[in-house]
């Protein structure tokens, strides 16, 4: 008798893995606080906190809150480093870590002294910035166990001037990248 492969079991005992969708989510959120950390050797560092909800896909109705530890480089590229928690309609949590890039369309102020001091409240311009990235999730929610084995690829926009954040995510699995059959 052949021993059972432990990797074929769900991460949570007695849990059934729900089928994996291709479309993961549509998120709409509002920035609640933007804290200026200051100018670092790599660029302007800010913490952008947000709250919102998932408005479409299998996560529709879930609440989301997070913070982007953002680095805005001198070339106008924003480096995303996001930690977020999704709370499903059943009260279960999904931890998310996302990384990616954005394109900053305008500066918070004009001129050579455009770098706001640490802790400053900044009047950001109304300028949507495109976002693109990937997210890895962890959960014990039986309905969303498929997220533990997939990468979410997202795109969207962030506008610090209006405080709006929108993103759409799709599922990318190792099998899709490597061309191996799904298990």
Cα separation, 151 vs 172, in Å, equals 5
Residue matched to tokens 């949590």: 93
Residue 152 lies in a domain: yes
Q: What is the pLDDT of residue 1?
A: 44
177 confidence band (pLDDT: 50, 70, 90): low
- CATH code for position 135: 2.40.160.20
Q: Looking at the predicted structure, is the pLDDT value of residue 111 above 50?
A: no
Domain total of the chain: 1
Least confident of 1-5, 9-13, 48-52, 86-90: 1-5
Higher-pLDDT residue of 95, 13? 95
What does the radius of gyration of the chain's CA atoms come to, in whole angstroms?
19
For 91, which DSSP code? Answer: S
Residues 123-161 have pLDDT tens digits of 788 889 999 999 999 999 999 999 998 899 999 999 989
Q: How far is CA 129 from the centre of its chain?
A: 15
What value does the mean pLDDT take over residues 60-80? 95
Supply the pLDDT for residue 140.
Answer: 95
What distance in Å separates the CA atoms of residue 157 and residue 155, rounded to the nearest whole number? 7
Residue 138, domain member (yes or no): yes
Domain assignment of residue 165, yes or no: yes
CA torsion through residues 32, 36, 37, 40, sign: positive
Counting every residue, how long is the chain?
A: 183
What average pLDDT does this structure show over 90-100? 97
Helix (H, G, I), strand (E, B) or coil at 178: helix
- Residue 132: what pLDDT? 97
Residue 144 burial (10 A CB sphere; 0-12, 13-18, 19+): buried
Range of the domain at 149: 21-106+121-178
Is 116 part of any domain?
no
């Amino acid at each position: 008798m052949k021993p059972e492969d432990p990797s074929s079991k769900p991460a949570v005992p007695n849990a059934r893995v729900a089928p994996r969708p291709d479309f993961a989510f549509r998120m709409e959120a509002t920035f609640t606080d933007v804290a200026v950390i200051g100018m670092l050797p790599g660029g302007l560092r800010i913490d952008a906190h947000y709250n919102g909800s998932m408005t479409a896909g299998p996560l529709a109705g879930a609440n989301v809150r997070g913070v982007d530890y953002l680095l805005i480089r001198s070339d106008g590229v924003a480096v995303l480093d996001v930690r977020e928690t999704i709370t499903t309609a059943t009260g279960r949590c999904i931890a998310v870590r996302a990384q990616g890039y954005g394109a900053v369309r305008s500066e918070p102020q004009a001129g050579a002294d455009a770098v706001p001091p640490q802790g400053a409240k900044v009047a950001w311009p109304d300028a949507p910035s495109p976002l693109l990235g990937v997210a890895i999730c962890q959960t014990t929610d039986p309905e969303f166990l498929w997220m533990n084995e997939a990468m979410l690829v997202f795109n969207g926009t962030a506008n610090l001037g209006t405080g709006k954040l929108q993103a759409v995510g799709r599922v990318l699995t190792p099998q899709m990248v490597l061309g191996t059959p799904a298990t």
